[in-house]
Structure 1
Amino acid sequence: MASEQYYMSLHPEVRFQPKDEELITHFLKRKISGDPLPVNIIIDELSFYEYSPIQLSKMYAFANQKELYFFTPVERKFTDSTLPRRKARNGYWIPTSKYENIEQGTEIIGVKKSLRFYAGRPRSASTKTNWTMLEYIAGEPQQYHKALIL
């Protein structure tokens, strides 16, 4: 595949900075379908919401990057609901935008949404932090299986 050859040709110190449509097509859709990812790109899969952003930054401190990428299974707030569960350890994530379509040509291939971390418990004395993330979903928001967290 041409894209895989391209990624293999990059020097290891080149910063990983894919476009939105590349995240969906080259990584997220491949992950969902079980196809192999480019061999020199490692995106860990973990239950993202079991950690606070500070814990994740300490766990991945060796990366020395401002951006970290993860695949995470999407959990539902209620078993019969499409609402995602965004409670995390020591806080919760609140959307700061609506779903934004990601297009490839004229086709919508996915969506993204930005979220901000609040430390504490909802509806009590919680503190807005500077931690933000982008959530990428392949396909329509109601049909997603995994999300790519940035």
Structure 2
Amino acid sequence: MTQSRSVLLLNGPNLNLLGTRQPEVYGSTTLAEIEARCIEQAKGLGLTLEARQSNHEGELVDWIQAARQQFAAIIINPGAFTHTSVALLDALQAFEGLVIEVHLSNIHRRESFRHHSYVSLAATGAIVGLGAQGYDLALQAIAARLTEV
């Protein structure tokens, strides 16, 4: 694991539609707004942040694997892959840094198939149901944990 204070922010499928897709569930904040806010907040916390989004599972796996050499932490909102992707789980388990799972909605108050998260098995922590604020909390947790090391 790198000793940097670099964070990789990954967002999975359909999160590129934030702000327009089911705003009653996911809010009206766009992904671009979330990413910009996270980049600014990271600077204030003494972190650097790189944000990426993909609708493709394999691309997310590739990014997680490459992160092993570059990043101290990953914040991931895997979207629907949360509930289906053993491949993401395996990649995250090979990552030695911090992993914070974020979900805009409370997945435990939704359809039963959304209650299980493969990603949680590899996550240091999970933040669910707090909307875009969940990303802010993830960054604060990462900054605090990296300072402890």
TM-score, normalised with respect to structure 2: 0.30
Structure showing greater relative contact order (alpha-carbon pairs closer than 8 Å, 6 or more residues apart): 2
TM-score, normalised with respect to structure 1: 0.29
In our comparison, the structure showing a higher alpha carbon Rg is: 1
